[in-house]
Amino acid sequence: MLHKETVSNEMWELLQKLMQDEMLKDFTLVGGTALALKLGHRLSIDIDLFTTKDFNSKDLISYLQKEYKATDEIVFENTVMTYIEDIKVDLLAHKYPVIAMDNISENVRMISNDDIGAMKLHAIFQSGARLKDFVDMYFLLEENPLKSYLDSYQQKYNGNSNLVARSLIYFDGIRKQYDVSMIQGKENNWKKMQERFKKAVSNPNLKFGSSFSKRAIPINKGKGFKR
């Protein structure tokens, strides 16, 4: 069962339409929205759809404009970034191997947590600017130890897992102006999150317990992410 409380009703309805669209059958939901629907840890406001295949960006945006009234589009080779019903939708060719697909749930195609963890590590290693990537990794560490995601990263990107692990404890590059809206009852203390990352990097085989207690009300960084 997916945590639909992590997305708006409008976003869920749009996601359902996109998932059932034959034109988009090769695209899969990835990133923070896929993880939020599975773990229920934070709110998410955009849709990231990736494929491992090349596609014609101009043809796709024309289709989205006609069928979904897509606006404010940015189009590159194998990349379409647009808005549909005021919801940000990105469609990209991410030509790296998919480690595993999750079972389709409520018509939504999603990659595995191993894939999402590898992609989050990749994003943190490349920039380390987005607070939400660190938040997502914090909760992924309740599902599997860091070693599992480092192995997945190496399998997916063939990169240096030791360097990637170190990037998890470099916090100076995070852009502080962006809030992450957490589900109430989920850990929202940045200092505690930092401590978990340090422990995980020190011992990649360490498994962490859940920090969940139920209720679904968003809170902002000012109330939770204390720096």
Q: Which helix (H) or strand (E) holds 27?
A: none
Kindly list the domain boundaries of the chain, sorted by start residue: 4-93, 113-219
Q: How confident is the model at residue 215 (pLDDT cuts 50, 70, 90)?
A: very low
Q: What's the confidence (pLDDT) of residue 225?
A: 40
pLDDT tens digit string along 167-191? 999 999 999 767 799 998 888 899 9
For residue 33, give the DSSP letter: H
pLDDT tens digit string along 145-169? 999 999 999 999 999 999 999 999 9
pLDDT tens digit string along 90-106? 999 999 999 999 999 99
Taking 50 as the threshold, does the pLDDT of residue 224 lie above it?
no
Q: What's the confidence (pLDDT) of residue 177?
A: 65
Q: What's the confidence (pLDDT) of residue 218?
A: 39
- Apex 39 CA angle, 93 and 185, nearest 5: 140
CA distance readout (Å), 128 to 31, 121, 124, 169:
15, 9, 4, 10
Instruction: Tell me the average pLDDT of the chain.
Output: 92
Q: What's the confidence (pLDDT) of residue 45?
A: 96
Taking 90 as the threshold, does the pLDDT of residue 213 lie above it?
no
CB 46 within 8 A of CB 88: yes
Q: What's the CATH architecture for 4-93?
A: 2-Layer Sandwich (3.30)
Q: What's the confidence (pLDDT) of residue 211?
A: 62
